[in-house]
Chains A and B, each alone.
Chain A
Amino acid sequence: MAILKKKTSSRRSSSKGKDYITDEMIRSPWFWIILAAGLAIYFIFLRDSNDSEDKTKIDSTTDCITSIKEIEEWEFLTLHLEELIDTVVPKKLSECQSAKIFSGTAHLGINTKKANKSWIVLTDNKATITLPPIELLDKEIIDDTRTRTFYEKGTISATVKEKMYQNAKRRLKAKAMQKENIKMAEENAKETFKSLFTALGYKTVKVTFKK
């Protein structure tokens, strides 16, 4: 009888025609064991696991030099700074979150191209130098190749990444252009030009900044 029942049930399933997975298979514990093991192997080993040997092929195009500029900048203070930027992007079912640490180097100094024509006045033994004000020598101060992701959940869009970058840049510039830093750069500039002109034989060297 049991054999007859099995036969009738298999006939039913085959009469439906397209059922590759029958009810009997679903009821069988072995089906579930094999399925779970298969999924486990796929997710643990096949899906870009860290255990598999790293054979990443890294390549790059040749550097394309977009512009060359001759500059006359004297740098007197270098600040290596870092800034943590955290953002949350709400979505329909969940939210995306990202926290990145941006690294930047601010170069404080003067651009002698912005100096007056007579920024150096030399008399017998006296040198009078009027320097342009201390400024940030670069518009971009973040080295994005050194940015580190501290926390990330979900997929962060390019627009959000760009906003985070701009936010970090604004904060780093504000940090760099603090009064104390400008003062330190000015002091260092004075020392540098004094030692340069003293070495050239001038006994009195006066360095001031254009306001």
Chain B
Amino acid sequence: MNTKPLYKLILLLSLFLCYCCSDGKKKGNEEMISQIVNCAKLNTVQYNVHKLLTYEDLNAIEGSIFSEKISIPIPGERKLIVPIDATVKAYIDFTSFSSSNIEVQGERLKITLPNPQIVLSSSKIDYKNEKQYLSWNRSKFTSEEIEKFTAQGRASILSSMANSDILDRSRISAYKTLLPILTAAGYKQENITITFSDEIEQNIHNKEILQKLILIENE
């Protein structure tokens, strides 16, 4: 049996495998975005958050034999921990603020502000404490994979912040920021009322906020 063509085939196959397993990855051109937005926002509260994102790769080979579905888990462990430090800010958007938001009745002043919103203003991955735990037969996490996970971590931080007390604190802080301006304008503190859009619609937080404000002012 002539084995020369067979060796050539093996050589080609090896080269193909080397190409498949190469670390280098190229992507197409991507646009560099630069966008400028005029705005008028009052940043009221800043939360610094630390989060540990953990991932475990449980990939399995899926297939079917004689119309029976089979799933063979890939042996070995492949785990990742990514620490992230993020800064979340709450703000009140004054972009559409106008005279319609202000109501003056003699000595009394009532201002209606839009609801506070939150934004993740910055984040930083702690590269030095990023850890990968891999069995001998498992490959390292690629940068692309890590980026995919951290993007999910970003969403997780924002959703958990939305459920925290950041919005209530923002309302109180906005009141404290605007109060000196309004008293300087000649209005007495007891005649100033600041409400927020959702309170007009739902009238839920009014009492809580007022109580908090009273406590703060007494302090």
Contacts and interface: CB of A to CB of B under 8 A. Distances in A.
B139 A56 contact: no
B126 to A, nearest CB: 9
A60 B121 contact: no
A40 B54 CA distance: 31
Contact of B49 (A63, A144, A196): A63
Contacts of A192: 40, 94, 97
A17 interface: no
B166 to A, nearest CB: 8
Interface in A19-77: 29, 32-33, 36, 39-40, 43-48, 52-77
A81 interface: yes
Nearest to B34: A81
Nearest to B174: A72
Contacts of A61: 51-52, 54
Given A63-B161, A146-B154, A77 B37 contact: yes
A122 B184 contact: yes
Contacts, number: 272
Contact of B36 (A57, A59, A65, A184): A184
B154 to A, nearest CB: 4
Contacts of B213: none
Contacts of A154: 23
B125 A144 contact: yes
B100 to A, nearest CB: 9
A63 B125 CA distance: 15
B122 A141 contact: yes
Interface residues of B, number: 100
Contact of A143 (B14, B48, B122, B142): B122
B1 interface: yes
A70 B216 CA distance: 13
Interface in B24-57: 24-27, 30, 32-57
A3 interface: no
Contacts of A107: 43, 121
Interface residues of A, number: 95
B143 A152 contact: yes
Nearest to B157: A63
Nearest to B86: A145
A184 B38 CA distance: 8
B176 A70 contact: yes
B216 to A, nearest CB: 10
Contact of B102 (A29, A40, A76, A200): A200
Nearest to B149: A58
B40 A74 contact: yes
Given A43-B17, A74-B41, A84 B32 contact: yes
A115 to B, nearest CB: 10
Nearest to B99: A199
Nearest to B119: A105
Contacts of A152: 23-25, 142-143
Contact of B44 (A54, A71, A151): A71
19 contacts: A43-B17, A57-B58, A60-B51, A60-B153, A63-B50, A68-B46, A70-B45, A71-B44, A73-B42, A73-B43, A78-B39, A103-B33, A141-B122, A142-B122, A143-B154, A149-B144, A154-B23, A159-B128, A175-B34
